[in-house]
Amino acid sequence: MLNKGLSVITSIFGHEYKDTGKDAEIRYQCDRCKSLGKRFDDYKLYVNYKKMLYWCHRCEKKGRIDFSGAGRDYLADIDVIDVIDDYLSNDNQHGEGKKEDSSVSYVVPPYYPEQGEVSHNYLLSRGLTNGDIRFYDIRVSGVFDKDNYGRVIVPNRVWGGVLTDMYVARNYLNDYKKYKNPRGSASNSTVFNLHRIPDNPDYLIICEGVFSAMAVDRNAVATYGKNFSEKQLTSIIEKNPKIVYVSYDPDAMHKAEELCEYLSRRFDSTKEVRLVELPDDLDPADVGRERFRDYLEDAYLYKDSVSYIIDGMLKKQ
């Protein structure tokens, strides 16, 4: 088996590296140099896999590799290294995720979007703040992640700052396949951001996509698309919110109505289900956080499908 430190580094940075001739030190092409338009193919990024230190001799980016998820001190402890090492040698890919009853776990990159970089500017353009980027633990993939390079990675539940049960990779360089979920993911049984919301909240907002949820409210969750499963909705119901707002994109209103119907039947009479109706050309992420509050206040109190149809006909008269 590889040295534990080296196995961590290669699982994140990739196996295409060069030796330096020094103990525990290897060289990589620098993904930050590439993102800045600098030369990157001459392996100027030096990594010491015992000390978990890195230093690019061209762009001068240096520090310690962060597996804490806090984005502060770049320090990897031996417990996290054991988690990764177990992950790499376990066909079931449970790792620490087994403690959270997750059938599959995925390694997330250790890189965070930095001020001035294209990925960071993209996130700001989507209505997110620096606080949001930290809160949702958003990452950017390295140059060796061929599937996800040029994408921001939005993980769901993260263990040890390294493994996640689900993520969305959003392309910020071009429009080819905007969103990608990991291979073999259980997106139909996972609800984005639900684990961060305390039990018995005053309200909870259900969106289609991760970016919509992040853009509108910290109490917003996403079903990873317009389709939803009974397992997802059961986990939402078990949170026991007083009010559930359903805010799908305008082109998926039929699914939003279906979701409201399902929830209204499952909730008792003390709960409210409200349908957020947005203009046809806007989705929740387009509206923005402040303006979205107005749509929440005007959200339709959903009782059943018949009442909704009748009220819609009356509104048009």
Digit-coded pLDDT (tens) for 242-294: 999 999 998 999 999 999 999 999 898 889 999 999 988 888 888 888 899 99
Rounded CA separation 278/299 (Å): 9
CATH topology of domain 188-316: Dna Topoisomerase Vi A Subunit; Chain: A, domain 2 (3.40.1360)
Segment 100-127 mean pLDDT: 80
Identify any residues that bridge with 2 across adjacent strands, giving them in sequence order. none
Distance from C-alpha of 252 to C-alpha of 255, rounded to nearest angstrom: 5
Predicted pLDDT at 307: 80
Q: Where in the chain is the domain with CATH 3.40.1360.10?
A: 188-316
pLDDT of residue 103: 47
Structure tokens at 298: 């005007």
Tell me the pLDDT band of 206, cut-offs 50, 70 and 90. very high
pLDDT at 100: 40
Tell me which of 87 and 155 has the higher pLDDT.
Answer: 155
In the numeric block, which tokens belong to residue 41?
């193919």
Whole-angstrom distance, CA of residue 183 vs CA of residue 15:
20
What is each CA distance from 226 to 44, 231, 269, in whole angstroms? Answer: 44, 15, 26
Q: What is the pLDDT of residue 5?
A: 66
CB–CB of 274/246 below 8 Å?
yes
Q: Using DSSP bridges, classify how beta strands 300-301 and 158-159 pair: parallel, antiparallel or unpaired.
A: unpaired
| pLDDT per position as a tens digit, 221-253 | 999 999 999 999 999 999 999 999 999 998 999
Q: What is the pLDDT of residue 12?
A: 63
For 14-56, the pLDDT digits (tens) are 678 898 888 889 998 887 787 778 888 889 888 888 877 888 8
The highest-confidence range among 60-69, 87-96, 228-237, by mean pLDDT, is 228-237
Share of the chain above pLDDT 90, in %: 38
